């Protein structure tokens, strides 16, 4: 076992983990952060996307020990004072989900995309989200939600 200290959603945790433990399993099984989900076993779907030191990563593709000393933000850490993050709000307003399984990862990836490019074209949004799969929506409303968030939300 290896001891790690990680700040997750503004709380510091020190835990013993096996060196092979994936970050997504650490988040879900040791910390109870089940808002981050597993949708595949091939690093394809993006459902497990979180921010590691401010950059989106597929947490099934990162070892928990690699997050030692880092800051992780999950979908559960986005809301502040009971208010949704603007990108969460945009997904809600634009009906950008159906089953919702891809949504945590889509939102985390969308935030990263908008941080890099606050005014993306539709094509740039589609390319920025190409690592995140959705089986339900056909992506149309997801793209609309990112555009809505980029435009500053409700007018």
96: phi then psi, degrees, rounded to nearest 5: -90, 30
Site for ligand FES in 112-141 (CB under 6 A): 134-137
Q: β-strands 11-17, 55-58: how paired? A: unpaired
Least CB distance to ligand FES at residue 111 (A): 17
Q: Choose between 1 and 100: whose C-beta lies nearer to ligand FES.
A: 100
Least CB distance to ligand FES at residue 155 (A): 26
Site for ligand FES in 63-102 (CB under 6 A): 97-102
Return the bridge partners of 3, or none: 16
Q: β-strands 2-8, 11-17: how paired? A: antiparallel
* Nearest residue to 142 (alpha-carbon basis) of 60, 46, 73, 62: 46
By CB under 6 A, tell whether 48 contacts ligand FES: yes
Q: Which residues bind ligand FES (CB under 6 A)?
A: 38-40, 43-48, 58, 60, 97-102, 134-137
């Amino acid at each position: 076992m290896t001891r790690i200290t990680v700040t997750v959603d503004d709380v510091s945790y020190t835990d013993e983990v096996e060196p092979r433990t994936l970050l997504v399993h650490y988040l879900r099984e040791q910390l109870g952060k089940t808002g981050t989900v597993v949708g595949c076993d091939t690093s394809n779907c993006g459902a497990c996307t979180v921010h590691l030191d401010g950059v989106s990563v597929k947490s099934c593709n990162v070892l928990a020990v690699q997050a030692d000393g880092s800051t992780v933000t999950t979908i559960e850490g986005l809301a502040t004072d009971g208010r949704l993050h603007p990108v969460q709000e945009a997904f809600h307003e634009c009906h950008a989900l159906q089953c919702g399984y891809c949504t945590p990862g889509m939102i985390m990836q969308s935030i990263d995309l908008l941080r890099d490019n606050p005014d993306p074209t539709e094509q740039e949004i589609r390319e920025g989200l190409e690592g995140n799969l959705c089986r339900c929506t056909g992506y149309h409303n997801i793209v609309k939600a990112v555009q809505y968030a980029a435009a500053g939300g409700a007018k």
